[in-house]
Amino acid sequence: MILYLLKRLAVLIASTAVAGVAVFAFMALLPGDPAEIALGVNATPEAVAALRERFGTDRPPLAQFADWFGGLIQGDFGTSYVTSSPIGPQIGDRLGVTAVLVLGGMVIALLIAVPAGTFAAVHHRNPLGVAISAASQVGIAIPAFLAGILLVFVFAVKAQALPSGGYVPIDEDPQAWLLGLLLPWLSLGLVQGAVLTRYVRSAVLDVMREDYLRTARAKGRGRMGALWRHGLRNASIPVVTVLGLQLATLLVGAVVVERVFVIPGLGDLLLNGVAGRDLLLVQGVVMVLVVAVLLINFVVDVTYAVLDPRLR
């Protein structure tokens, strides 16, 4: 088990280094000089040269990458080209908001998908099981931002039961914080729950056809009892793979949902950086999102080893 974890950790470190090179190279290829953008079209060549020296963009690309990536390792994301404020604290503040949004959406997706997918598999020949499968297909076709708009129309505009947008920190008003996040959580969770329901149903159906489950039922266990005791752990292995992919998808989906509900998360910070041509800020946010996806994959690999002893 320890050797397996060390190998996965080595892959994580190598993948992070490669991702850092790719992100830096991609941002370096984008047109536009940060110094010229910051000073405007009427800037003199001397002022542009002085600002390039201040930003460090007049140095060779290799030296710039070494300073940037070395700073990332120490938690220093540099200074914004536009606002001249440290980027690290901005990302840190927004990362907590996005993490709460993504985790809340995933919890709702699991609360929907596990019972619904299991029920649809066990009763796959019944009309209700077929109806659940059909509903999940419809949910897959709806993007998260459209689900958010529909939820706002129903619960905020028509019913006036929940706020349509905005974010209140939990330390200021816990109730307003919770109410403000309910619709964003639902917009992410309903769509991802529909996707996950299909995979849970498929995984449980595969397990129900296995010989060991028939043996458990032949020994006197009921269908649900045998599935709970012997089947769900094996069915969870392919579901964990999809769950990891969905977490990565939720990070991307949160970018749009944060705009819909005016939530100051990483997605909002990223879009503001793109609009303001703050390339170093965009570079830092993209790197954080990439590392988050790599960490999710690492956790999925470790979960495999916990669920399936053969991998150990």
Per-position pLDDT tens, the chain of length 312: 778 778 888 888 899 999 999 998 888 777 767 777 777 767 777 777 887 777 777 788 888 888 888 888 888 888 888 788 889 898 988 888 998 998 998 899 889 988 888 888 877 788 888 888 888 888 888 887 788 888 888 888 888 888 888 888 888 888 989 988 999 999 888 888 888 888 888 877 777 666 666 666 666 665 665 666 656 666 677 777 777 777 877 777 777 888 888 888 888 888 888 877 788 888 899 999 889 888 888 887 787 777 666 665
List of domains in the chain? 31-76 (no CATH), 95-311 (1.10.3720.10)
Look at residue 221 in the predicted model and tell me its pLDDT.
62
Look at residue 229 in the predicted model and tell me its pLDDT.
61
Where b means 16+ CB within 10 Å and e means fewer, 234-264 reads: bbbeebbbbbbbbbbbbbebbbbbbbbbebb
